[in-house]
Every structure is written in structure tokens, then in C-alpha cells.
Amino acid sequence: MKVVIAEKPDQAMKLASPFAHRKQQGFVEVHPNRMFPKGAFFTWAVGHICELVPPEAYNPAWKKWSLATLPLVPQSFQHQVMKSKAKQFGIIKQLLKRSDVTEIIHAGDAGREGELIVRTIVEMCKVRKPMKRLWISSLTEKAVTAGFAALLEETETRNLYHEAYSRSCADWLVGMNASRVYTLLLQQRGIKDVFSAGRVQTPTLALVVKREKEIAAFKPEPFWEVKATFAIGKKRYEGVWHKEDGESRILDPQLAERIAAFCRDKPSEVSEVETERKEFLPPYLFNLSSLQATANKMFKYSPQKTLEIAQKLYVKGLLSYPRSDSSFVTQEEAKTFPDILNKLSKQPEYQPHFPLAKASIASDKRYVNQKKVTDHYAIIPTEQVPTVSKLSDEERKIYDLVARRLIAAHQESALFDYTTVNTLVDGRAVFISKGKVQIRAGWREVLFDEEKDDKEAVLPPLAKGETGKVHKVEAKESKTQPPKRYTEGQLITLMKTAGKHLDNQELEKVLMKTEGLGTEATRAGIINMLKERKYIEVRKNQVFATQKGTLLIDVIGDKILASPEMTARWEQRLQEIGQGDASAQVFMEQVRKLSHKIVEDAVEQSREWKLEAYDVEALPTSKQASKFSIGSKVAACRACGGDLVDKGEFYGCANYKKSQCTVTISKTIMGKKITPAAAKKLMETGKTNLIKGFVKGKERFDAYLQWDEADKKAKVSMPALAEKNA
């Protein structure tokens, strides 16, 4: 008997579906067949069943957050079974330990994380039985049966496990130490929140904050341009005045007006016409990053949403493995294209694009290149082509993007004539006009929606020497524009290029080597994490850095933790571990040294921090913040002298049970957050500083909190009344 361990329940069911089977609690029993003569058990993880243990499991003293214990550096790492998934772990363990089970088939996702998830489970079960590896890139019946017929030796993918394990341990070390040291140091400055920092998330946040600061520092400057409309017979076209060096912007408005006045109603002549023909090849097939960027641009889908939809289509057997970083396929996959395209041609959505310009792209290295296929080939439709119109709206949109990219790859290139026209006004003033003419649509007919941002003007046919006159001319004022905020799709691209942002459809040329932040599988999750931790906000598909995110990057400064280049080099080293070209032990030793440096840097920097510019009360707080501060002393109770402590929703006296002291202060009064500093001031002096922004009905006002000695409680007091009572 064999035990097949998949990563998720739906994948296990898909793997078992080609064979006669019976579903049981937590596994599927496959009856004896040609592939499994003695039958098999197909079971599943539920994502990550095992997790790295918390700090206190290594050392009880590490449970309390304290600078004195940092850095936390375990000698070796340990895993534990997650409580919520213990039942399924027990089922897997029971199956693996059966005496009639002689072999394990590792059927996790064919990638680093899948490698880690299943091997960790087997390791935790303490089972030492022979293991094979199922490695497939789609879940169609054909791919599944072919995969089981050609299982890999587990040694062939073991290095990927070392890579994923090293990544998770490195993230634990950096994240745990960086988060604790910055949280504790900021707590000393009165900021009671948890500041999560990490090897990938912090450099990503730094890129967003950098753009936010560029926008804030930008000062728009006015300039003027002289724009004219020319009439040559019945032909009309526009041009912009320019100097000999090609510059069209004029900084002096009076000069702009004089040029416009000179040109009004003057004769004009086409003095020069230059035409250049440009060829545009079809875009590459999708990898995950380019699919996420395109779906974000077209549908405003977040990267995480695109990944989830693509994953559903993969599990249904309609798309190949979505977490791919390659835009190429092998010869074997290219052989399946004619059949896939034939099925697509029968659907109304795609019929207009058939017959194809190219029957095959099997010899085209732009798409078919074994050397450039990494763990997986590009995201493509499988031979299991659905009726596209019957898919859900979201699934249809993502499937359609992938299908159209494959169709476009079989079309001709697009041809355009780009024309530059110089028009001479009254023999002196030169105006430039630029436009284009589409000579051949080619693949653009298939992907027109992806290309709809093109705003190049269309010029009438013009020849040198043609004459006419200036129909209209004016000096137009404009202002220089600040840099644009990133969209979520652009942020994915930015992470992949480690901060070198390229707004280019053909990014894959530059990005074949992994030098970015995170991996194809993790980037969407990192962006989600930054949202959840209140470091960024996404409004109308634009990414904004919050004050909290900006504060964290400011206090980290230019240290290594915020460096995209450093993290990119780490990703490269991790990839080398996965390829067997670098040592996991050497890498982890470097990470341990880095953990010491992160703590030392933070403590040293904190002496120079200047946080006066930040409105501490307005900082968005994470869910961990209240949990982190509960039980901590805020002040001495003004009524009994005991400790006033954080109780979660309010501040309350710790002597409540001992001496029935009932002093409490709500953390939110009339819509206003009451900070620990304000509560402390009230307890020590009987009155807070002026607090701005109380709300009562539609009225907004500023007031103090003042201690009422008779009632032993805090009351809101208007400024004049408070000063009179003081």
C-alpha cells in the first residue's frame, strides 16, 4: 500500500478522481488498479499543518518581550502541530504508521512551499519509509496519470525543501527580533502598538514610503506651451512649438504669449516629415506576476484575489500551476497547443481570431525554451477547455486573459508607422507633431483591451512642402506633476524588480533571474500583510503609506533591514540553495549574525529618534496592539494609590478585587481615543492636556478630562469651566 499526501483536500480529490475510490474521514481509499496494484490512501494537509514553535518553547524567559533577551537565536529550529489542524495530522500519522504501508508519495504543490509542508508532516510523524515525488503542473486526468507513471526520486527535489526551510527559519529570526526590538523601543517613547517588521515586508514598505515622501516633497512648477492647429486644405492637425534642442516648455508666460501672438493667422509649411516603421512582437505568456499586474490594471483585482481565482481554475484542471515564475514552456507543452487552440476556436469569444497566422510556435524561442523553464512552465490553458461563458464572472475574466495570451502568441506582430512632422510658421517658428498609423493590427486584435492606454494621435497624410496656415494658436499653462502612487499591480512588479520599477509589458526579459522581494507565491500575501498591519491603505487601486508605516521606515532609516537590494541578494542565495549550489547551514549562520546586527542597529538609532512630527493618537493600531498592552501599568490610581492598568477596552485599578477600588477610564470617550499618556496625566495632576476632537451629535469640540474627587471618576470639562475649577 502507498500513502499519497496532497497539500489540500480538493487537490487530493482531484488526484484520486482517475481511479475507483471511496471517501473516508480525512482520506480517500483508492481501490487496487494498474497504477496502484495494492490500492492506496490519498490524504491531505490543510495548508501548513505544522508551524515553527514560539520563542518560549526554546526558553521560558523569551515569552516576555524584553530588550534584555534580544536577539532570540535558537540553536536549532523545532516545529509543532497547529492545534486547529491536529485532527487531520493524526489521520495522516495513523496512515503512515500502518504496517501495510510501504511507500509515501509526496504530492504537495510542485514548488518550494509544497515541498516544505509535506516533508515537515512526514518528519513530525517520525516515519522513515521510502518516498517518491509527484511533480505535475496541471490537475487534468491526463497530467495526473502521467505524473504517477513517472514519479521522481525524493532526492531530486530535496534541495527545494532545504530552500523553503531556510526561508521560513530566516523569516522567523529576522521577523521575531526586528518586531520585538522596534516595538519595545517605540513603547519607551509612549507608542503602545506592535510594530511587525520582516525580511520581505519591510523593504517592500520602504518602497511605498519612499514614493509617498516623493509625492509629499514635490512642488509643482508652472510652465507654458504654445499649441497650434494647422489647416492645410481640408486637413487639420495639431503641433507644439519647440526650441532647437527639442524643448517645448516655456517658463516665461509673457514669452509664450508673444510666440502665440506672432503665429496667429500666419502661413505655415510642412518643412520635414519623418516616418519610422516599428514592429511589436506578441507579449510573452503569463507568469504569476505579469498575470497579477494585468488583472489589476484591467479589473482592479488585488494580487491576492488574482492568485485565488487562478488557483481555483488550476484545481478545476483548467489552468496550469499558477505560482510559476516562468514565461516559457518546453517542447512537450508546445505540442499540446494545437489541440487546446482547436477547442478554443469553437467558442464564440475566440472564433473571430481564427484561423491563426501561425499553426505552431514550437520552434519559436520567444515562447518555447527549456533552459528558461524553472520549476514550472508559463501559465497556460490545459487541454480541459471549459465553456468559457459558463464560468463565474471572475473565473471567466482570468481564464480569458490566459487564453488570449496563448492565441496572441500565434498571431503576427503588430506594425505601426510612427511619424514626426515639423511645421514652419512664417519661416521662423517650428512646431512638432507626432502621431502613428497602424499598418497591421496582428496580435493586438486579440489583446486590444490590454493595449487601450495608447493615446498617440493619428495624423493625416502629409508631405514635405505642403502649405497652409495657422488655424488656431494659444499659450496653454500646465504644471509639473508629482510621481504617481503605485497600483497594487505595479507594486507586485516593483517587488519582483527589487525596487527598479519598469512599466513595460516585456518585463520577463529583465526578470528571468530571481532578484526580487519574495517569490511568485508570497508577494500577494506580503501586500495583504502590509494592509492588515495598517502600514498601507489601498484606495481606488492606489497604494498609500499610512503614518504608522512611515513611522516604522523612518525609525529603521537606511539600515540593512529596509534594503531591497539586500533582500534581493538573499532571494538569490535561497534559490541557489534550492538548486544545490549553496549551503543552507552557511546561509543560516549569516542570518543569525544579521539578527544581532538588527538589534544593535535599532538600539543605537533609537537614541537619535525624533518623533515629535507624529500624531501618536492618530496612528492606526493593529489587532495585536491591545493584546500586547493588556495588563501593563499606565499610572498610579488617584483614588487608592494602586496600579491603574490596561484592561483592553478601558484602564482600571488593579485593586478592584483586593479593596473594591472601582476607578476606571474608558479608552474611547465621545468618539475620542484616550491614550495611556492622557490617562497618566489625569491620574498625576487631576487634569489632562487639552484633547481635540470630541464628538457629540453633529458637534465637534475640544475639552479636558478632569478628575471628579467626589465621584472618583473622570469627566469631560470644557476649557473655560476647567480653568475656573483648576
- For residue 35, give the C-alpha cell: 497504477
In the chain, the N- to C-terminal Cα span, in Å, equals: 84
Nearest residue to 101 (alpha-carbon basis) of 1, 30, 6, 33: 1
CA 534 to chain centre: 15
Q: What is the DSSP letter of 110?
A: S
Angle, helices 201-217 vs 523-532, to 10°: value is 60
Q: Which residues pair with 28 in a beta bridge?
A: 23, 42
Q: Which residues have a Cβ under 8 Å from the Cβ of 589 and sit 6 or more positions away?
A: none
Nearest residue to 587 (alpha-carbon basis) of 274, 162, 175, 176: 162
Query: Three-state DSSP class for 398?
Result: helix
Backbone region of residue 233 per phi and psi (left: phi > 0; alpha: psi in -120 to 50; beta: other values): left
In angstroms, the CA 149 to CA 145 distance is 6
Q: Which residues have a Cβ under 8 Å from the Cβ of 593 and sit 6 or more positions away?
A: none
Residue 50: how many other CB atoms lie within 10 Å? 20
**Signed CA dihedral, 475, 481, 487, 493: sign only:** positive
Backbone region of residue 348 per phi and psi (left: phi > 0; alpha: psi in -120 to 50; beta: other values): alpha
The backbone torsions φ and ψ at residue 561, rounded to the nearest 5 degrees and listed phi first, read -60, -30
Query: Three-state DSSP class for 560?
Result: helix
- 19 neighbors 36 (Cβ within 8 angstroms): yes
- 117 neighbors 108 (Cβ within 8 angstroms): yes
CA 716-718-721 angle, 5° bins: 110
Q: Which residues pair with 472 in a beta bridge?
A: 229
- 159 neighbors 577 (Cβ within 8 angstroms): yes
Query: Three-state DSSP class for 453?
Result: coil
- 722 neighbors 705 (Cβ within 8 angstroms): no
CA atoms within 13 A on the CB side of 574: 26
**Active site residues per annotation:** 321
In angstroms, the CA 193 to CA 681 distance is 20
Q: Are strands 691-696 and 672-673 parallel, antiparallel or unpaired?
A: unpaired
- For residue 580, give the C-alpha cell: 544545490
Angle, helices 288-299 vs 393-409, to 10°: value is 120
Omega before 348 cis (within 30°)? no
- 670 neighbors 716 (Cβ within 8 angstroms): yes
Q: E strands, 121-198, where? A: 131-133, 152-153
- 320 neighbors 137 (Cβ within 8 angstroms): yes
- 636 neighbors 654 (Cβ within 8 angstroms): no
Residue type at position 509: K
DSSP 562-618: G-HHHHHHHHHHHHHHHTTSS-HHHHHHHHHHHHHHHHHHHHHHHTT---TTS-GGG
In angstroms, the CA 81 to CA 120 distance is 10
DSSP 699-718: EEEEEEEEEETTTTEEEEE-
In angstroms, the CA 284 to CA 720 distance is 70
- 136 neighbors 110 (Cβ within 8 angstroms): yes
- For residue 426, give the C-alpha cell: 512664417
